[in-house]
Structure 1
Amino acid sequence: MDTRFLESLLIVVEQGSIAAAARQQHLTPATVAQRLRTLEEEIGCSLVQRNGRHVRPTEHGLAILEQSRQIITSVRELCVIATSDTPVGKLRLGAISSVANGLLPPYLKRFFECFPEIELHIMPGSSSALYNAVLDGALDAAFIVEPPFDIPETYVRETLRSEPLIVLVPGDVTEADPHEILRNYPFIRYDRNQWGGRLADDYLKRTGIWPHERLELDALDAITIIVNQGTGVSLIPDWALPWPEGFYLKKVLLPDPVPCRKLGFLFEKETLKRRLINRLLDTLKYPIKAFEI
């Protein structure tokens, strides 16, 4: 259905005359009359009745007037949005927990200050699950750890942050050698099913360290809490997060070369949401001091 025909119907009803409506729209009366006939054929009922030169809506015509106005208004708004320089729309994003809890909040504050008309829906999940969601089209983009494999050429991954592995220990540990700590203290393992956890596991294997494993889990914030309680030590990325008050922890650095967990932003090259994604990338370009110990 051509919305211009609905507009002609509204003007005819408003003017009470096909000739007057034609003058207002800079059309011939025959063109306006043809538009009305086409509408009536499409809808399947008579919309106006003529009494000489005067035209008034039928009961069916009256029934669709308000919704017709809403449709025309919505179409005009769409045209404004499509041609405006102000980005408007919704992005479906995924974010691993360490990004959602630590890295992202300061950027979101800046983003909404700059682009208040863009709506974000953020879904939590593991890097592997979010990666698949982007490739399946369930998400427009995702904040994930660098995959341990090459991504398809039709996708882009922008690196946002590089996080070196560290040995996280309770604050009362005096040992300074990271390898000795990993060998001699109870070990809280970062889940090997996570891409970041595989990085830590590869490091332990490469250095020939077989720690006294006490627990394995996939949440970096939970690992941090458990280490703070003195339950053990851990080998994790030096991630950005809001550290709770009262924590007493130490970060022991590894010798070079240090493996790094790379956090990035994954999206499809030719996505229809590229304009909105570019605005988000513009925000992410400029460093913001994240939460630190």
Structure 2
Amino acid sequence: MDLSSLEIFRCVAEEQSVTRAAARLQRVQSNVTTRIRQLEDDLGAPLFLRDGKRMTLTDQGRDFLAYAERLLALAAEARQSLHPDTASGPLRLGSMESTAASRLPIPLARFHRDFPEVELRVSTGHSQKLLGEVLDRQLDCALIAHPDILRAEPGFEATLERGLCAEPVFREELLLVLPANHPPVARPEDVRIRTLAGFARGCTYRLLAERWLAGAPLAVQEVGSYHGILACVNAGSCIGVLPRSVLELQRDMPGLQVVPMLEVDTLLIWREGYATGAFRRWREILAARP
């Protein structure tokens, strides 16, 4: 098992094709096929199901891909650490949906302009998912909601003690949004609709809304986007919670009742000791934001 074999394996897994992987890697197909077979022989397990020219991962292949990703990421980090003043190589950034939409377009554009040699990869998810991916080396850093909010969640405190660093970069005002015809709300007890439109469990903002509205039973309708949350609210069947910065991005929205809830920090988190040149420049750009 070597890094070259892992890179070939990952590429075939992503492309689901030896032909496409060979073209992407600029190798002949026979070489890619041979290296995959050698890797399977070395591991003593089939990594792919072969259906004609289509290659799909077996269960063992999916498990091994996670390890391969971590090994390749660690190797890239090791290379970059030897040149801390040079911004190059990959930087894998995770972000909450709201932060990616409302806070990152300008910093990302500036970073790409100033450091074109960096291969910046951005993915989104809820805070707990992103935190786990940083710990597992699937991400190099992530923007999540302030972890103090989640300390009461089972296992979260222990997770924070496993070598993570963090610094606040944004401050968000969370808003409860209700249909326009809902009676005025001054406190949680005034909310009559008991269905919350929100993201899957693990979303900090959903957790905050559930706690704020904890005085009576609350159902949750899970949706996959803030547009979905607002659609449910406009339909009159749900309430929702979102940052003011996200609501200000919406145009031609029908009237909604908006109730300020609280302010929450967004943190940049990373593994202790992670200090590549690309990451250092990313931190500088976030710190220099207007």
In which range does the TM-score fall when normalised by the shorter chain?
0.5 to 0.7
Corresponding residue for 1:268? 271
- Rounded to whole Å, the distance in 2 between the matches of 1:137 and 1:192 is 22
Q: SS of the counterpart of 2:184?
A: coil
TM-score by length of 2: 0.58
Of residues 125-134 and 142-151 in structure 1, the stretch that sits farther from structure 2 once superposed is 142-151
- Which ranges in structure 2 are unaligned for 5 or more consecutive residues? 1-78, 152-156
Query: What residue is the counterpart of 2:240 in the other structure?
Result: 234
SS in 2 for 1:240: helix
Match status 1:121 vs 2:129? no
1:247 paired residue among 248, 253, 264: 253
Is the contact made by 2:128 and 2:202 (CA closer than 8 Å) also made in structure 1? Answer: no
Asked if 1:112 corresponds to 2:112, the answer is yes
Distance 1:164 1:95, change over 3 A: same
How big is the shift at 1:181? 4.8
* Equivalent pair of 1:192/1:201 in contact (CA under 8 Å): no
1:204 pairs, out of 203, 206, 213, with 213
TM-score, normalised with respect to structure 1: 0.58
Q: Name the residue aligned to 2:188.
A: 179
Equivalent residues in 2 for 1:82-101, closer than 5 Å:
85-101=85-101
**1:20-58 residue CA offsets vs partner (Å, 9 max, x unmatched):** xxxxxxxxxxxxxxxxxxxxxxxxxxxxxxxxxxxxxxx
Which runs of 5 or more residues in structure 1 are unaligned? Answer: 1-78, 289-293
Separation in 2, partners of 1:146, 1:84:
28
CA contact (8 A) 1:95 1:123 kept: yes
Question: Any idea what the Cα deviations from partners look like across 1:179-222, whole Å, max 9, x if unmatched?
Answer: 3652x2353243554222112212222xx3555x4734464332
Offset, 1:82: 6.3
Matched, 1:157 2:166: yes
After superposition, the C-alpha distances for 1:143-190 in whole angstroms (9 at most, x for unaligned) are 2222313412632112222323322123455625353652x2353243
Q: Is the 8 A contact 2:194 2:217 kept in 1?
A: no
Distance 1:214 1:199 in 2: 13
Q: How many residues are aligned here?
A: 201
Matches within 5 A, 1:131-170: 131-147=131-147, 148-149=150-151, 150=157, 151-152=160-161, 154-170=163-179
Match of 2:25 in 1: none
> Which residues in structure 2 correspond to 1:60-99 (within 5 Å)?
85-99=85-99
* Change over 3 Å in CA distance of 1:214–1:82 after alignment to 2: closer
